[in-house]
Amino acid sequence: MCGIVGYIGTKKASPILINGLLRLEYRGYDSAGLSTIEKNGISLMKNIGRVKNLSELPGIDDLEGTIGIAHTRWATHGIPSKENSHPHTDNSKNFSVVHNGIIENYYSLRNKLKDEGYTFYSETDTEVIPNLIHYYYKNLKDEIGINRFLKAVRNACLDLKGSFAIEVICKDFPDNMIVVRKDSPLVIGKADGENYLSSDIPAILSFTRTFYLLNDFEFVVLSRNDAKFYDTDLNPINKELTSIEWDAIGAEKNGYEDYMLKEIHEQVTSTRETVGARFQENQKTCFNELNFTKEYLSSLNRIYIVACGTAMHAGLAGKAIIEKLCRIQTEVDIASEFRYRDPLIDDKTLCIFISQSGETADTIAALKLSKQKGAKTLAISNVIGSSLSRESDLAIYTHAGPEIAVASTKAYTSQIVLLNVLAIYMAEVLENNDINYLNTLKKDILELPEKISQTIEHSECVKDFAKKIYQEKDVFYIGRGIDNAIAKEGSLKLKEISYIHSESYAAGELKHGAIALIEKGVTVIASLTDKDLTKKTISNIQEVITRGAKTLIVTNQDLDLSTFDFSIKIPETNAFISPVLAIIPLQLLAYYISKEKGLDVDKPRNLAKSVTVE
């Protein structure tokens, strides 16, 4: 968690740093701080709360430095406080550091440094870093110039266990900054006579479209006009620049009140982008990045889909379509469970990892484990060049555009679309399916954008229902088959941004316990999109109605809706892709309830967009 930005150029650094932090607030927002190099040494400004509080500190506008680092925090070690917020300096205030990640061996390093006479002023793991750099720096007296700074940073980093993206400035080198990452994101945006740094691309996209994407343990010495890259032995390495196609406006709110609402609406275009040019008339599905053969796919003993949160819910839809079309056993795992349960993996296993950010620590760790055990790995991410996609043998992208709201919406629907396209591709390679069925499914996928647009037209109706139930304490979501997967995601959305307790249940499971909680007035939301299971689910809905429940039905079936309190009719489509439509009223419901309660929709409490710690 946490967001970091940096700047080295010819302009005043502090306004640029604040601007970047505001865009990274989704990564953490309990405190923020920045450091610049001024004529009289290193400046340090910190405040608790949002970035706005930092920007209002007296004296911040007087900073003249043209090189600086900044941080917005999501607390891991130590409470949100001024002392614990970043940047952290060494005892002599020679070095200032911002850090995203967790230093697992900070306690022993801290004790070692204490024995060397260093004092610690915060409860953070980060504070060991500047002091460790100082420790090496003072013992590298024979090294001259920037090499001394670089070696000190390198030596310190080799002592660190855990994850880190760090930016370091030093009073003795007002024209340089050193940065490095391991298992935490960091990108460098290159412009004319200046370099920008950030935890993600959108935060600095308004300044440049040309980026260096860092790999683990690449040490970078930045100056205004240059970026020099080194490996851990400090041998120079060549680094290519990557051009980013997104525009800065894509990362802005575009007139919507909140990013989440904008991203819900963007699903019309994002799902279209996800399909891209993969389906061509009279052609097989195009996945040049994969090149799977019939022999390879036939040899697979199983597929694992591994992810966290919403991405895992998309995986449930992926399992359904892969098993249906490819007849390969497919298991869906929560990454934090998978990595510790000694899963049965060998070289005949394909492991698919789904992550919007591509930076989720548990998902990356699960991928590394699968590779060690010999599996082929395939990453599905929304972020080109993310850690997950670079670690993986193969990578494909959802191309949904930047998702800023903490609650994932368009990434989820794009993940489901891409998993369906992938399953069709694999089925075509396997040559084990009725071509007409595959072609119909392709047509249904291509029609999704129009149907999403029709579904969003129910917004006002959903808003009315939100007004009726926003004060509730418990809400239940139910469904069978694919509708159970929709229920799980609908329930997660409500919890995340409205803070209402909710549960999702396989509809047939209710009577095995949870129905005891149903009493007069309790809201039960059911999804009914699989016609083969509709009658069964309706019986379950009748059971809760009998016990006094208030019901909202989301369906694409022609049903007698008069028995339900509220209903939303969505366009009909193939059951395997129905979550893409059925989730939209549930996303909107969570959104409008959150608004009705006056909550911060885009930045819900206790959550961060990208969970880069275990």
Residue 555 binding ligand AGP, by CB under 6 A: no
Output phi, psi for 84, to 5 deg: -85, -10
In this chain, which of 47, 96, 198, 357 binds ligand AGP, going by CB under 6 A?
357
In this chain, which of 96, 336, 355, 484 binds ligand AGP, going by CB under 6 A?
355
Total residues at interface with ligand AGP (CB under 6 A): 16
Comparison of 303 and 312: residue with beta carbon closer to ligand AGP:
312
Residue 333 binding ligand AGP, by CB under 6 A: no
Task: Name which of residues 162 to 191 contact ligand AGP (CB under 6 A).
Answer: none
In this chain, which of 19, 100, 392, 408 binds ligand AGP, going by CB under 6 A?
408
d(CA 37, CA 266): 41
426-445: burial string, b at 16+ Cβ within 10 Å, e else = bbbbbeebeeeebeebbebb
The H or E element spanning position 529 is none
Query: In angstroms, what is the minimal distance from the CB of 215 to ligand AGP?
Result: 20
Question: With contact defined as beta carbons under 8 Å apart, do 525 and 586 qualify?
Answer: yes
d(CA 586, CA 66): 47
Strand segments, DSSP code E, in 216-296 are: 219-222, 227-230, 236-237, 242-243
DSSP 215: P
Peptide bond into 130 cis (omega under 30): no
Residue 360 binding ligand AGP, by CB under 6 A: yes
Residue 527 binding ligand AGP, by CB under 6 A: no
Among 46, 182, 190, 609, the one annotated catalytic: 609
Query: In angstroms, what is the minimal distance from the CB of 124 to ligand AGP?
Result: 23
The three-state secondary structure class of 422 is: helix
Residue 363 binding ligand AGP, by CB under 6 A: yes
Q: Which stretch binds ligand AGP (CB under 6 A): 149-157, 193-201, 356-364, 579-587?
A: 356-364
Q: For residue 168, which amino acid is it?
A: V
Query: In angstroms, what is the minimal distance from the CB of 153 to ligand AGP?
Result: 29
Q: What angle do CA 70, 54, 56 make, to 5 degrees?
A: 140
Catalytic, 2? Answer yes
Ramachandran bin of 609, using left for φ above 0, alpha for ψ from -120 to 50, beta for the remaining angles: alpha
DSSP β-bridge partners for residue 8: 67, 195
**C-alpha distances in angstroms, 415 versus 381, 383, 450, 580?**
8, 12, 18, 9
Instruction: Quote the tokens at residue 192.
Output: 């004319």
Q: Which stretch binds ligand AGP (CB under 6 A): 65-73, 320-328, 355-363, 372-380?
A: 355-363
In this chain, which of 407, 422, 475, 554 binds ligand AGP, going by CB under 6 A?
407
Interface mask toward ligand AGP for 311-330; x: CB under 6 A: x-------------------
Residue 422 binding ligand AGP, by CB under 6 A: no
Residue 610 binding ligand AGP, by CB under 6 A: yes
Among 2, 157, 170, 351, the one annotated catalytic: 2
Query: In angstroms, what is the minimal distance from the CB of 594 to ligand AGP?
Result: 12
By beta carbon distance, the residue nearest ligand AGP is 309
Query: In angstroms, what is the minimal distance from the CB of 219 to ligand AGP?
Result: 27
d(CA 96, CA 168): 6
Residue 496 binding ligand AGP, by CB under 6 A: yes
In this chain, which of 356, 398, 420, 537 binds ligand AGP, going by CB under 6 A?
356
Q: How far apart, in Å, do the first and last CA atoms of the chain sit?
A: 10
In this chain, which of 309, 315, 343, 490 binds ligand AGP, going by CB under 6 A?
309
Q: Which residue has tokens 């860092």?
A: 214
Residue 308 binding ligand AGP, by CB under 6 A: yes
Q: Would you call 357 exposed, middle or buried from its count of C-beta atoms within 10 A (0-12, 13-18, 19+)?
A: buried
Catalytic, 609? Answer yes
DSSP 404: -
Query: In angstroms, what is the minimal distance from the CB of 266 to ligand AGP?
Result: 15
Q: Which residues form the interface with ligand AGP (CB under 6 A)?
A: 308-311, 355-357, 360, 363, 406-408, 496, 607, 610-611
Please list the active-site residues: 2, 609
